[in-house]
Amino acid sequence: MATLCCPAVAVPEFTISLEETLALVSSLHPHHPRLPLVQRLIRNTRVSKRHLLQPIGQTLKHPGFEARNLMYAREARARIPDVVSRALANARLAPEQIDAIVYVSCTGFMMPSPTAWMINELGFRSDTRQIPIAQLGCAAGGSAINRAHDFCLAYRDANVLIVACEFCSLCYQPQDTSVGNLLSNGLFGDALAAAVVRGCGGEGMQLLSNASRLVPGTEDWICYAVKATGFHFCLDQRVPGTMAQLAPAIRSVTAEQGWQADTLDFYIIHAGGPRILDDLSRYLGVDAALFVHSRSTLSEYGNIASAVVLDALRRLFEAGGAHQDARGIIAGFGPGITAEITLGSWRNREVSS
């Protein structure tokens, strides 16, 4: 049975604090008619710190879409090898033992996908399957896990590498002063993550089932407007309330496994913002303390898009993991509105076969 092993995560060296973000938005937009609302929304994110590819002075400049995308490609190639190497070590595998690579990102574009570069440069076999996913936004971390699981179900004993690379700061648009865009400027951070799903053996979350749910009529609630200046993030004011619609979907998916959504042992939830976690806790009837790792990701890194669920899972591992056979869920949310849901039980190496 496939097992999701401990992820490796990396964040860039430059940081910006909540107070620095608030001061910045005030200095950049002192006459914005809704400045008090923007400040309140940013403060309510509870994001104490975010990591950025460049110093803030450089981040605020827009050299053009082409230059930004070139930076995306350059930084991805410079930073991916480290997280890949550590993820493989966590799974106790060598590159040549990987059968497929799932690469997810929504903050830059490369064709061929970085999967081709990884195969050429990082020691993977030339017959390694490539599965790039570019348009699921924050939900792509959950989707990557689910597609890796599906691959291992189709090809017994296969091993799949997942790589998430999100440089959200490269999507900063200085001329876009909509409330949703200004909020996103104070919410999103940069990060990379990688993890391996082993078809046989390994320690971590043993994957039992997965599902995808789409909330009808919400495809324009989270989206990109692609313009000459690049990706413009559009966030509808109704997005924070989507847990009222997604909580029943989570209940139905867990029920299909014969479980109850409010009695699981661990929860790895996409931390798009604090209200998502607060509402999901309330709608599912789950103690908010069980979302501790997702909250830590949000507080220390901000919303790092597809890498969120992998970082929250890493924090669970580093906290000692869960007890043998503990039941849990991973849920990623993103454009669509889409939920990617994974159910599994904890497997400790020392008692595994």
The H or E element spanning position 20 is helix 18-28
Active site residue 138: yes
Whether omega before 112 lies within 30 degrees of 0, making that bond cis, reads yes
CATH of 204-346, one of 3.60.15.10, 3.40.50.300, 3.40.47.10, 3.40.50.2300: 3.40.47.10
Q: Is 24 helix (H, G, I), strand (E, B) or coil?
A: helix
pLDDT for residue 352: 41
pLDDT for residue 262: 93
Q: How far is CA 248 from CA 32, 54, 140, 156, 284, in A?
A: 39, 41, 21, 32, 8
pLDDT for residue 181: 86
> If you search the block for the tokens 């409010």, which residue do you land on?
262
> Which residue is catalytic, options 5, 6, 106, 138?
138
Encode the chain (353 residues) as per-residue pLDDT tens digits.
Answer: 999 999 999 999 999 999 999 999 999 999 999 999 999 999 999 999 999 999 999 999 999 999 999 999 999 999 999 999 999 999 999 999 999 999 999 999 999 999 999 999 999 999 999 999 998 888 999 999 999 999 999 999 999 999 999 999 999 988 888 888 888 899 999 999 999 999 999 999 999 999 999 989 888 888 787 888 888 877 777 877 788 889 999 999 999 999 999 999 999 999 888 888 999 999 999 999 999 999 999 999 999 999 999 999 999 999 999 999 999 999 999 888 899 999 999 998 754 44
Question: Quick one: tokens of 160?
Answer: 């799949």
The H or E element spanning position 144 is helix 140-154
pLDDT for residue 118: 98
Q: How far is CA 126 from CA 83, 101, 123, 155, 304, in A?
A: 21, 12, 9, 18, 31
Are 305 and 140 in contact by the 8 Å Cβ rule? The answer is yes
Phi first, then psi, for residue 225 (nearest 5°) are -95, 115
**Where in the chain is CATH 3.40.47.10?**
3-198, 204-346
CATH architecture, range 3-198 = 3-Layer(aba) Sandwich (3.40)
Strands 159-167, 100-104: pairing kind:
parallel
Q: How many CB atoms lie within 10 A of CB 220?
A: 9
Are 168 and 305 in contact by the 8 Å Cβ rule? The answer is yes
Per the document, the length of the chain is 353
pLDDT for residue 317: 97
The pTM (predicted TM-score) of the whole model is 0.94
pLDDT for residue 353: 40
pLDDT for residue 237: 75
pLDDT for residue 220: 83
Residue ranges in 54-126 assigned as alpha helix (H): 56-59, 65-91, 114-121
- Buried/exposed 167-197: b ≥16 CB within 10 Å, e otherwise: bbbbbbbeebeebbbbbbbbbbbbbbbbbbb
